Amino acid sequence: MPLSPRLLVADQVAGSLRLLALPGGEVTGVVEGRHLAEHAGFLALPGGRAAFVDDLAGELVVLDPYGPDSGRPLVGAVVPVAVPAEHLAADPTGRRLAVTTGLGRNHAPWSDLLTAVQLDAPRGPKAVRVRARTGEPGVTVLGADDPLVVLRHREPGALTAYRHTDLMAAAPSCPPATPAYETGLPDADGHGDAHDPVTGRLFAAAGSGVHRARRDGEKLAVEEPLSWGGPGRGYYLRVDPVRRTLWSCVRGGPADPGRWPEWSNDAWFHGLDDDRRAGRVPLGPGLVFRLAVSAAHIAYARVHPDGDELVLIDPESPRVVARLPLPAMDGAPRPGGTPWDGVQRRAVAASPGAPLVAVSRGGHGEIHLFDGTSPAGVLRVPTPLDEGGHLALLAPGDEAHLDPVGR
């Protein structure tokens, strides 16, 4: 019998993770006592695996979602890493990873720790911690042979590259790491990273546009940035490996976060192989942040006091093809307050190998499932999914690892 898609459901507040078989929602695995680092998210790895960082235990956890079907454990490996985890990325083989640290429950940057991981080390998975630069850096891992770990810094903006081999050879006690190469970025407001393993390019979202660079030996060759194509800027980047397209959400409107219902939101896209294929699609006002890539659509969850909805974009001829209403959340963001502090949120997930899209209803322990543009049921878990929880949807052979940055 062919394997069906799987949904990873993490409740980072309650500290639990469940694996559901789709579309019915049967539980095929449970891991208790794990608090996923929500900002770093889930990272797709080759072979249908996935990874995340437990922000309480300080561990990278590698999952084998189809393992329980064949008698293997759901948790395949555990490796110690520095936390609070800010970003998580892998090289194209999924064997070498990097984890950066961020603010956590602090008001200012304080940690400069970077963790390099080698899952196929001779004596088993190995991790090494070094010091880089205080901040909230993004990360990509370029190249399958002796990859470069590239940190995207802000304030001041910079791209700093380290040889993964050098990081793994570092001494104990978190020594300072020496970059192999560093180049400045014109912006100090970087937020959002992507990596296309096919071309080897990395992408960094900033106010002035999407900055691009590719590996040139142990250096980075900086290329012309991509324009946002109008007012606003994107805070998130994601690779669609099926249509070979880079996606984001461009936000505009007042700077006051209390006026978030007035924010404008556009789906932004740019062809990875054709710079002429680019544009924006209006999504509507309110809070739109992360997106998900399915076999049929690009999915955005939009939160607004007048009603929440799942917005589906046709990725071939980008346009809105469906606006599907979502039930209201108790504790949802309200006008006058920030849309991310002490409120419920929504997580959205999809797989490039399946038409399904899953959207959480924060605080209610519900995940609303859609098959293309049609509702496909409501899945329920025993924890509330406060702050929206976090989701990852996987399908056999979906090649989701071709987007090798945690989401």
pLDDT band at 106 (very low <50, low <70, confident <90, very high): very high
pLDDT band at 218 (very low <50, low <70, confident <90, very high): confident
Phi-psi region of 96 (alpha: psi -120 to 50; beta: other; left: phi over 0): beta
Other C-beta atoms within 10 Å of 349: how many?
26
- Residue 1 pLDDT > 80, yes or no? no
Instruction: Over range 57-65, report the average pLDDT.
Output: 98
- Residue 402 pLDDT > 70, yes or no? yes
259 near 286, Cβ under 8 Å? no
pLDDT tens digits for range 117-130: 999 999 999 999 99
Four-residue CA torsion sign, 333, 334, 340, 342? negative
Rounded Cα–Cα distance for residues 97 and 135 (Å)? 19
Instruction: Over range 156-180, report the average pLDDT.
Output: 97
Instruction: Over range 306-324, report the average pLDDT.
Output: 98
Domains of the chain and CATH, by start: 6-402 (2.130.10.10)
Instruction: Over range 384-393, report the average pLDDT.
Output: 98
CA-only gyration radius of the chain, Å: 20
pLDDT band at 186 (very low <50, low <70, confident <90, very high): confident
Measured CA angle at 388 (ends 250, 14), to 5 deg: 145
Write out the DSSP string of 358-375. EEEETTTTEEEEEETTEE
Rounded Cα–Cα distance for residues 75 and 72 (Å)? 9
Instruction: Over range 143-152, report the average pLDDT.
Output: 94
